[in-house]
Structure 1
Amino acid sequence: MSDQPIIVSASPHVHSDRTSRKLMFDVVLALMPALLVSLYVFGYSAVITTVAAVVSCLVFEYLIQRYILKTPVTIGDGSALITGLLLAFNLPAGLPVWMVIAGSLVAIGIAKLSFGGLGFNVFNPALVGRVFLLVSFPVQMTRWPTAVENNTRLVDAVTGATPLGMIKEGVQFGETMSQISTRLPSHTDMLLGLTAGSLGEMSALALILGGIYLIARKVISWHIPVTVLATIALMTGLFWWADPEQFANPLLHVLSGGAILGAFYMATDLVTSPVTRKGMVVFAIGVGVITVVIRLFGSYPEGISFAILIMNAFVPLINRYFKPKRFGARIKAKMV
């Protein structure tokens, strides 16, 4: 018998040097390629929108915690920074600064701190801010700048419709996909970021590279993003196979809109997503299904923001049903 005393204490018993701050800044690094593409395409308007969102989120978190909640200020953990970046990624470049600030207040004050702060919020804060602005200011929130090529440098932008918006509008006016496709950007343009959309919808390639970095760093698991995108591709592929003149092909649905941004960076939020792999898959399938239903049959051309928020509400039930196996639990023998 060892003379070393046995220490009984509460969990956690396994410690790691991977703090919340380090995880958050890994996410910041992953978002940098997509941010640089947006800044290149939209220029100063993208800078103003991003800075306004990030600064206002940091300021609101400090003020609310310091003077209203009177709790320790946690802006140093990087969560408010991530909220600001993701909120900016969900907004069109050139949105009035006061609207950006209003979205930040809702994201930080209502969606995050009113629930108790990081680790307690039920819904993704950035998406709550985005949906609030979309419902409150639908005209400004759907006025999408689109890049205009001048020689070899993207230097200007005009207002245009997103690919999903073009499809929705064209179908409503009785056009076929063959007619609509003549106005749509190519898959290569959507992959590189030469299309209309919010700051974070520009370059699918940049978002994918950042997502791979997060998976490699084990900040997120592959189960949610892969399942979300696979569900969107499978469902839209079935509709496209059934009637290609009425429905767009699955690759267009995956590359356009906020599918990749939502799948890699918002559906995977550690606080508002399930904890088990089976739960993650169920959650991701729900996100994909709701996204496709809204895109194809709803009033809005894009639906992933609503889909993630709806599935956020089901996360406690999913975690309750798909519980991780308790350490030391006895495995029942199979009955012969």
Structure 2
Amino acid sequence: MSDFLHVSSSPHVRSKVSTDGIMKTVLLALLPTTLFGIYNFGLHALLLILVCMATCVATEAVYEKIVNKKSTIKDCSALVTGLLLALNLPPKAPWWIAVVGGIFAILIVKQLFGGLGQNFMNPALAARCFLLISFTGRMTDFTVPDGAFGKVVDTVSGATPLAAVKAGESVNLMSLFIGNTKGTIGETSALAILIGAAILLATKVIDLRVPLTYIGTFAVFALLFGGHGFSISYLAAELFGGGLMLGAWFMATDYVTTPITKNGQLVYGVCLGIFTGIFRIFGGSAEGVSYAIIFCNLLVPLIERVTMPVAFGKGGKKS
């Protein structure tokens, strides 16, 4: 039979953009945040990053070998998952937590649901939430490792900036923006995250629709229900503290778990902002970004269903 009659499966639109190219750009964009995390928290942070990335790649390679699937480790998606997971870990977490989280992210959330493009929620955040539930004490211990730069300006209370804000305490906004504070390895420096976001925007890997809708909705929610009135310092602390910036620019924009329709992305961003506000302001924890994103990931099929454009010629009134 002639090759002319062979038709490949959809999609039939071709692009020069490749998966590995996108993933390498994301890794590049995460470099400022990663380097600052290592600088801020020391060599143990580097160890966790390397262990997370190695575990994710090894898990994907071993699983695909066992089930006789084509290897996909060259597309760098496992490296991105491992790095994002590491950036969401406390700087003093034991190395075995990185191993458990990496295996859960790749094996349970990604591969068992069909691999890249089939996972129903962000693997790195799903793994973080799993670790938070399973090892709450270790995942909420933000003690700064010995020798870390952050130890120099360590606060007496030991609380993260968001926890301090929730308790009614004041925080240093400049330290919060630069990143010389407590938190997970990759969430402390809003400046480093924004530099990475600029790289993603400049290379057109993401657009502004989801991040700005997410951040804007949360800002309005915090001002209305935060109990501090229209306090700019409170709003800045909420925006730059915790995982909001990292989540909005690097995880809420995940292609697989984000609506494909433009209106759907706006709805998705609004839902993210509302749920983050509910979890942060009315919940028992000062944080809520991870839970908000994976919960909204589950809403994506419904959001796409109600925002999918109607085909031309359909949907009109019948005479």
TM-score where L is the length of structure 1: 0.86
Q: Which residue of 1 aligns with 2:14?
A: 15
- Give the 5 Å matches for 1:53-68: 53-67=52-66
Distance 1:276 1:235 in 2: 24
The Cα shift of 1:104 comes to 0.7
Q: Any conservation in 1 of the 2:63–2:107 contact (CA below 8 Å)?
A: yes
The 3-state SS of whatever aligns with 1:16 is coil
1:288-308 per-residue CA deviation (whole Å, 9 max, x = no partner) reads: 111111111111110010000
Gaps of at least 5 residues in structure 2 are none
Q: Distance in 2 between matches of 1:318 and 1:165?
A: 32
Alignment match, 1:173? none
- Is 1:137 the counterpart of 2:135? The answer is yes
Q: 2:178 aligned with 1:192, yes or no?
A: yes
Deviation, structure 1 residue 148: 9.3
Check 1:272–1:320 CA distance in 2 against 1; reply closer, same or farther (3 A cut): same
Is the CA contact (8 Å cut-off) linking 1:42 and 1:156 kept in structure 2?
no
Partner of 1:40: 39
The yes-or-no answer on 1:226 pairing with 2:225 is no
Which residue is 1:86 aligned to? Answer: 84
Alpha-carbon separation, structure 2, partners of 1:202 and 1:106 = 25
Indicate yes or no: 2:251 matched with 1:266. Answer: yes
- Listed as ranges, the gaps of 5+ residues in structure 1 are 171-176
Q: Give 1:132's aligned amino acid.
A: F
The separation in 1 between residues aligned to 2:13 and 2:304, in whole angstroms, is 22
Matched residue type, 1:297: F
TM-fit CA distance, 1:246: 11
User: Between Structure 1 and Structure 2, how many residues are aligned?
Assistant: 313
2:32 aligned with 1:28, yes or no?
no
Q: Are residue 296 (structure 1) and residue 281 (structure 2) matched?
A: yes
Residue in 2 aligned with 1:202?
A: 188
Displacement of 1:256 in angstroms is 0.3
- CA drift at 1:284: 1.0
**1:149 and 1:155 in contact (8 A); partners too:** yes
**Aligned-pair distance for 1:16?**
1.6
Task: Show the counterpart of 1:315.
Answer: 300
Partners in 1 of 2:177 and 2:53 — Cα distance?
Answer: 26
User: 1:215 aligned to 2:201?
Assistant: yes
The aligned residue for residue 250 of structure 1 is 235
Deviation of 1:145 after TM superposition, in Å, equals 3.5
Q: Are the structure 2 counterparts of residues 210 and 324 from structure 1 closer, same or farther at C-alpha, using a change threshold of 3 Å?
A: farther
Corresponding letter in the other structure for 1:166? A
Question: Aligned equivalents of 1:44 and 1:255: distance in 2?
Answer: 25
Summarize the alignment of residues 102-141 of structure 1 with structure 2, pairs less than 5 Å apart: 102-141=100-139
Deviation at residue 128 of structure 1 after TM alignment: 0.9
Matches of 1:204 and 1:130, distance apart in 2:
20
Q: Distance in 2 between matches of 1:320 and 1:331?
A: 16
Percent identity, aligned pairs only, is 39
Secondary structure in 2 matching 1:314: helix
**Which amino acid letter does the alignment assign opposite residue 78 of structure 2?**
A
State the one-letter code of the partner of 2:129: V
The aligned counterpart of 2:69 is 71
Amino acid corresponding to residue 205 of structure 2 in structure 1: V
What CA RMSD, in Å, does the superposition of the two structures yield over aligned residues? 2.8
CA distance in 2, matches of 1:158, 1:62: 41
SS at match of 2:56: helix
- Aligned mates of 1:96, 1:253 — CA distance in 2: 28
Q: Which residue of 1 aligns with 2:262?
A: 277
CA distance in 1, matches of 2:146, 2:189: 15
TM-score, normalised relative to structure 2: 0.90
State the distance in 1 between where 2:97 and 2:186 align.
18
CA gap of 1:320–1:232, structure 2 versus 1, over 3 A, is same
CA distance in 2, matches of 1:10, 1:72: 18
**Offset of residue 64 of structure 1:** 1.1
Which of the two has higher C-alpha Rg? 1
8 A contact 2:223–2:231 mirrored in 1? no
Cα distance, 1:136–1:18 mapped onto 2, change above 3 Å:
same
> What amino acid is the match of 1:205?
L
Asked whether the 8 Å contact 1:145–1:157 carries over to 2, the reply is: no
